[in-house]
Amino acid sequence: MTLLHELDATTPDRPALRFGAERLTHAQLARAAGVLGGRIGGMGRVAVWATPTARTAVAVVAALLAGVPAVPLNPRTGERELAHILGDSAPDAVLAGPEDVLPAGLAALPRVDVELAGTGAAVPAAPVDPESPALIVYTSGTTGPPKGVLLSHRAVAASLDALAEAWSWTADDVLVHALPLFHVHGLVLGILGPLRRGGEVRHLGAFSVAGVARELRDGGTMLFGVPTMYHRIAEALDEDEDLAAALAGARLLVSGSAALPVHDHERIAAATGRTVVERYGMTETLMNTSVRPGGEPRPGTVGPPLAGVDLRLVDEDGSAVEELDGETVGEVQVRGPNLFSGYLNRPEATAEAFDGDWFRTGDVAVREADGGVRLVGRKATDLIKSGGYKIGAGEIENALLDHPGVREAAVTGEPDPDLGERIVAWVVPRDGEKPPAEAELADHVAGLLAPHKRPRVVRYLHALPRNDMGKVLKKALPDGR
C-alpha cells in the first residue's frame, strides 16, 4: 500500500509542492524522498524537524516510502516537551534541513540532512503493512505530558479518501494553507492530502491574510485554516475588495480544529458569497464529519459523518442518544477505519479512551434532523483550544510551579475573539510583594513547553479556591469557568 499518488505518464511534471521560491514537481518529490528513504530504510522511527518548509514534506514522504514511522517535532518545542517526546518515541535519527540549527536536546541523535535535489540511490518501493504506523503525532491531554498518537497508513489513507469523496477533491485542486506541519491538520490534511490526490499544495510559510489572497488569486482552489485565520480574514474583508474577490474565486474554504464563530461565518459569507465548510476531527480519529459543499449553509454544524465513519452520541448514563432533535446532548463516540491504533507506550490510556470499539472523543454534541452534528462543548474543562491548538491545563500548571516565584498555579481558558480561547494563569506568588512578571512567566512556559502554550494573561491571587479535599475549584476563580 502506498499513501501517495502513483506517478503516471501524465503527472511527473505536475507541481506537487510550493513553499515560496521552493518548488517541486511530483517527480522531483518522488526522487528526493526516494533517495532520503534509502538512507533511513531499516530505522525504527525518525523524528522530523517540522519547519514550515518543503524539507518537512520531503522528510515525511521519505519516511512513508521507507515504512519508517515519522515523529514530527514542533521546531519551537521547549526543552522539557522535547525531552519527553524524544524519550517516549526513541527515534533513531532526526531529519532536518542542512541549515537548521537544532537545540541541545537533539544533540545526541544522529542527524540526517534533508535535500530537495536528491542524488544517490532511491529506496526500492517496498510494500508497507497498512496497519503499521505512518506517523506518531503528539497531542495534549488534561493532565501529564502529551501522548503519542499512532496513526497507521490505513487510517491516513481512509480519512483522506473520505474527505476527497465529500469535497470532490481531485488532482486539479491547488490547496493553499499556512498551518504548522507537526499536527494532523497541517501535515496529514494539508500536505499528504494533496499528495495522495496527485495535486498541489502551496504553503505560505507563515500565515498572513495578504499571502492567502495572493495564492488564491494565483490559482489556488482550496483554503484550509483554523478559525483564528478565518477570523483575521473576516476582520480584513471590510477594507479589502481584492481579498473578497480572491476568496470568492476559491472552490472550497475549509475550517477546522476548533469552532468557527457564527459571526465570522456570516461576515465571510456576506463579503464573498462563499460559505466556509466546517469539518470535525481529532488527532486520534483523523476526520469524522464534514459539511458537504453546496449544502444548506448552517453555521455551527460540522456536518454528517464521512464515509466509513460510524458516529453515535452517548448520554451520562452510557445510553445511546437516538434523537435527531438538535437538542439532546451526548458525548460523540466514533469508530471506523480512520481511527488511530493506540497511544505509544500507554496501554492504559488507550484502553480508557475506548468504550468497546467506540472511541470516546470527549466532545459533546447534538444531532440535527438530517444527521448533521452540532458540537456544543467538551467534557473536560481542563482542555483549552487556543488558535486551534489543544493544550492541557495540567502541563502548563506543572511548568508554572517549576518557576521559583510561583507557589500555586491554576490554568483556565477564557473566550478570546481571535484565538477562540486564551490561556489564563492564576498564580499565587511566593513573595506577594515581588510577584514574577507576566512576561517572565510566559517566557518560562514557552521555553519549557512551546510558545503557543504560554499564558496570555496572568492573574495574581493570595490563595487558590479549594474544596475540603484540597482540590482547586476552578469554577470558583473570579472569572473562571
Q: Which positions touch ligand MCA (CB under 6 A)?
A: 76, 179-180, 183-186, 206-207, 226, 228-229, 256-257, 281-283, 387-389, 442-443, 446, 451-452, 454
Cα(first)–Cα(last) distance of the chain, in Å? 47
Minimum distance from CB of 416 to ligand MCA (Å)?
Answer: 10
Task: Give the span between the Cα atoms of 153 and 200, in whole angstroms.
Answer: 21
Residues in 252-271 at the binding interface with ligand AMP, rule: CB under 6 A: 256-259
Q: Which three cell numbers stand for residue 164?
A: 476527497
Q: What sign does the CA torsion over 146, 150, 153, 155 have?
A: negative
Say if CB 93 and CB 40 are below 8 A apart: yes
Strands (E), 163-248: 174-177, 200-203, 222-225
Q: Does 366 contact ligand AMP by CB under 6 A?
A: no
Residues in 373-412 at the binding interface with ligand AMP, rule: CB under 6 A: 375, 378, 385, 390
Of 220 and 281, the one with the shorter C-beta distance to ligand AMP is 281
Minimum distance from CB of 205 to ligand AMP (Å)?
Answer: 22
Of 97 and 261, the one with the shorter C-beta distance to ligand AMP is 261
Give the position of cell 453515535.
Answer: 312
**Nearest Cα residue to 275 out of 293, 261, 300:** 293
Question: What does the CA dihedral 140, 192, 336, 228 come to, rounded to 10 degrees?
Answer: 50
Question: What does the CA dihedral 161, 61, 258, 297 come to, rounded to 10 degrees?
Answer: -40
Contacts with ligand AMP, 274-303, as mask; x by CB under 6 A: ----xxxxxx------------------x-
Q: Treating both helix axes as pointing N-terminal to C-terminal, what angle do 262-272 and 241-248 enclose, rounded to 10 degrees? A: 90
List of residues 6+ apart from 272 with CB closer than 8 A: 237, 244, 247, 248
Of 93 and 226, the one with the shorter C-beta distance to ligand MCA is 226
Of 34 and 148, the one with the shorter C-beta distance to ligand MCA is 148
378 binds, among ligand MCA, ligand AMP, none (CB under 5 to 8 A by kind): ligand AMP
Give me Rg for the CA atoms of the chain. Answer: 22
Of 451 and 465, the one with the shorter C-beta distance to ligand MCA is 451
224 binds, among ligand MCA, ligand AMP, none (CB under 5 to 8 A by kind): none
451 binds, among ligand AMP, ligand MCA, none (CB under 5 to 8 A by kind): ligand MCA
302 binds, among ligand AMP, ligand MCA, none (CB under 5 to 8 A by kind): ligand AMP
| Site residues (vs ligand AMP, CB under 6 A) | 139, 184, 256-259, 278-283, 302, 361, 363, 375, 378, 385, 390
